[in-house]
Structures are given as structure tokens and as C-alpha cells.
Amino acid sequence: MTPRLEDLGPCFQGVVPAMVATCALDGEPNITYLSQVYYVDPKHVALSRQFFNKTQRNVAENPYATVLLWDPVTFDMYRLLLRFDHSETDGPLFDTMSLRIEVIASHTGMAGIFKLVSADVYEVLSIESVDGFLTPPDPALDALPPPSVDAVPISEVRGLQAISGRISRATHLEELLDVALLALDETFGFSHSMVLLPDDSGQRLVTVASRGYGEHGVGAEVTIGDGIIGTVAVRQRMVRVAGMDESLRYGRAIRHRAEESGQGCPAPEIPLPGLCDAQAHLALPLCVGRRLVGVLGVESRDPLCFDEWDEAYLQIIGNQIALGIDRMQAFDDADDSPSLSRPPQRREASPVRTRRSFVYYRNDDCVFMDGEYLVRNIPGKILWRVLVQHERTGQSEFTNRELRLDPTLGLPAVKDNLESRLILLRRRLEEKCPDVRLVPVRRGRFALELGCDVALTEKDSAGA
């Protein structure tokens, strides 16, 4: 039976590079690897063109190309006979292919050098399975089980219902993000995920919730425009990258060439946030209208973990999370709300209290605890204000409203993301200094709980 293009999905994920043969009008053949073959529709594929090369010169003269695709799951090989149709240099197809290239370029410090020149669309004239490419399975070699790619959960609507319900019941931002990531894990097995929100500067995204990275995910920063997450934030489009190893190797090969040819690579290579051995990434912008309120990132060690279904599904969840974030930020000031989201957890004072030394550096709004960096910027200023106020007046409950009205904190007049900054601060304290807790007592109000004595020192700068 002739295979159908639409059934070759795994071949288009870039896990194993494809090969393309073309022929010049003078009869000279050419064969090379391709960085990306993209499924367009049941009759068309698009090949990525990053550099003008022999393949493009050949199809300009003689429009036929033969592409070998290797299925990364079954390892069957398929031969596609193609005829060049047209090139696209803008539009949705170009944007989608370009984004993937940009992500790889950004990860290898090649932004602006390794970029999509055009998406070359070819008509698929024939598809055939390359019979005999693999010999029959050998029991001796086949001792290991084949990779499983099952994956679409049977009751996705039920799963959506469950997640949607949890998100809409959340009473504050921290709970919303926690339940959303928990539900993604429990219901659909997205076990490594994170949500990043824009910081004060608008130049960076800060991880405020994560799942699957132990306690170390929160606080990680990504410069907007860098890497997968940063690129998604700029372009406000979802991106899915599979076969990360393969794609990064390809990007690095180009980086080496560019360095040697003197084109330079100003940006250092950016380490991937999250799993050090992630093979697949899916990141999507969390937008309300055209405004970016955050980025949801999901990772897996399985290069084929994410497919079109995951894209569609996460887009729905992402929209709900985005609206939830916006809702929380709009209403977290409602001090009079009777809902008690989390009762204060007062611990018995331990008989021997430790003493923590906090230092605030005025020049960069940075707080160190016992000589170790704790938090900076607005979360740092908030912590300092709370600690100082407590020391001076004994005040132990604080409202979001009073923080907003305090000009020394420098919160913007609108969309100040105060709640996300409090989450970041709370998480950093949980991780680095569990003796100091900021416990929500009701919406828009939190209590300072100290399990230690504190010493506060203010300095102009680290050298002062």
C-alpha cells in the first residue's frame, strides 16, 4: 500500500535529518542533508532554506528533487519524489518554520546568522516505502522493547474538564499556577513544566512556578529573545522542538563555520533551562489580547513526546492560565474579600532560635542572607520593607495595597505583577531561608512569620 504523507508525522519532527538529491541541467547530481522537512498538506511539503546553495540552484534549473525520510520510531525509510512549486518568504508557513530555526539559532548563539531565507514548497509526486532498507528484526538485537509512542489520552475532554475546573477554582496566582502544572502532570503526563512571567524590566522572564525540577526551578531567568522560551515571548507564537540534540548539533555546526569564516558569534551559547538532557520542548506564549502575561514551557526526555495534539491541547490550557493570571493580577487587591485562601501556619517557636543576617545593597536592590544571594529587584525591595517595618513597629501583617502605595518600591501604576513578585519572593524564601515565611492570610494580605532572629544591615554597594 502506498504510504500517505499525512501518516508520516514522526518523519517531519527533525529527529533524524532527511536527505535530498537534485540534479543540475548539465546532468550533475547533488546530494545533501536537510535541516527541516515540513508537512504542509497531503500533497505538499516545505524544505527549509537557510543558505543559498547547490540544491536551490539545481531546482531553479530542474525542479525535481528526491527526498529520503527516516522514521525515527520504526526506522523505516521513505522516498518522496518532489517538484518545486514556489518559495515563501513570509506568511504563516514561513513564520512557523522560521521560528523553529530561530530557536535553534538562539540556543547556539547564532541569532541573525542562522536564519530561514525561505520556505520552499514542493508538490509531492510520489511516496514509496524503501523496501529492504532494514533486514527483518533480529531477536538477538531486539531484546530491548521498542519505544512506545502511544499517546493520545483516551479521555482528553475529561482531562480538559478537570484542569479547567481546578484553574477556575484557584483563589490566588500561586495556587492557580501550582494546580495547573500539577494537573498537566497528573492528567496528561507533562511532568516537567514551568511558567515564567515578565519581570520589572520587561527584558527578562522569571520562573515563578515549576514542576519536575525539584526546588531549583523557581527564580531562573531567561532574557526575552533568547532560547526557546525567550523567542516564544518575542514572537508570541507556540514552538515545538523535537530531537533537540540533532537540531542543536546542526546549529553548532553552523556556528563553527560562521566563527571560522569570520562572521562572528557575539552571543554565548545559552544553557537550556530545566532538564539538562531534554530532547523535546514545547513552549507557548500566555497572552491576553496582544499582551504577553507569561510563557508556559514543557520539556521531555523523549524526543517524540509532543505532537500536534499536545500543541492543540496545551494551547487551550495556556489560554485558561493566561486569563487566570490576568484575573488574579486584576483582583488581588481585594483586601476585604472574606475568602481565606490559606490559614496562617504558625509554628511553635523553637527553644533555640537561630540568627539570620540580612544585608540589603541599595545600588542594585539586592538582598543577601548569611552572605548568600537571596533575591533582588522589586521582590528584594518588598522583603526589605517588610523586615524593616517589622523590626521598627512589630507589624506582622501586610497588604498588597500598602505595598502598591509605597513609592519606594517603584511598582508601576498599572499591571504591576505584584502577586507574581510575591510568589517569587515566597518561593525563594522557602528554598533558601525557610525560617522567614510570607504566608497569605486572605486575598491581598499576607503575614510575616519568623522562625529565627534577624539582623538587618543596609549598605550602598557590595564594596561599601
Partner 1 sequence: MIWKDTAAFVESGVSILVGTRTAQLMPEAVRGCGASVLAGGEELLVFIPEATGAATIANIEDNGRIAVTFCRPFDHRSLQFKGKVVEVRRGTAADRAVVENYRCAFAQELAVVGVPGRISLRMATWPAYAVRLRVATAFDQTPGPGAGARYGAARDAGPGQVAPGSPGTAGAP
Residues forming the site for partner 1 (CB under 8 A): 16, 19-23, 25, 27-33, 35, 50-51, 53-54, 62, 64-68, 75, 77, 79, 81, 113-114, 130-138, 141-144, 245-246, 249-250, 252-258, 260-261, 263, 303
Assigned C-alpha cell, 273: 533551562
User: Residue 94 CB, nearest distance to partner 1 (Å)?
Assistant: 20
**What's 225-271 look like in SS3?**
CCHHHHHHHHHCCCEEECCHHHHHHHHHHHHHHHHHCCCCCCCCCCC
- Give the 3-state DSSP-derived string for 379-442, with helices as H, strands as E and coil as C: HHHHHHHHHHHHHHHCCCEEEHHHHHHCHHHCCCCCCCCHHHHHHHHHHHHHHHCCCEEEEEEE
Residue closer to partner 1 (CB basis): 117 or 441: 117
- The nearest distance, CB 147 to partner 1, in angstroms, is 9
Nearer to partner 1 by Cβ, of 253 and 312: the residue is: 253
C-beta closer to partner 1: residue 147 or 202: 147
Least spacing, CB of residue 152 vs partner 1, in Å:
24
Query: Least distance (Å) from partner 1 to the CB of residue 173?
Result: 39
Write down the least CB distance from residue 93 to partner 1, Å: 22
Strand ranges across the sheet with 445-450: 397-399, 445-450, 436-442
Dihedral sign from CA coordinates of 96, 239, 242, 323: negative
Nearest distance from C-beta of residue 450 to partner 1, angstroms: 51
C-beta closer to partner 1: residue 144 or 154: 144
CA 125 – CA 142 distance, rounded (Å): 35
Distance between CA 347 and CA 461 in Å, rounded? 35
Nearer to partner 1, 19 or 160 (CB): 19
Q: In this structure, are residues 93 and 40 in contact, taking their beta carbons and an 8 Å threshold?
A: yes
Check residue 414 and report its DSSP letter. S
Nearer to partner 1, 133 or 309 (CB): 133
Q: Name the one residue in this structure whose C-alpha cell is 538529491.
A: 21
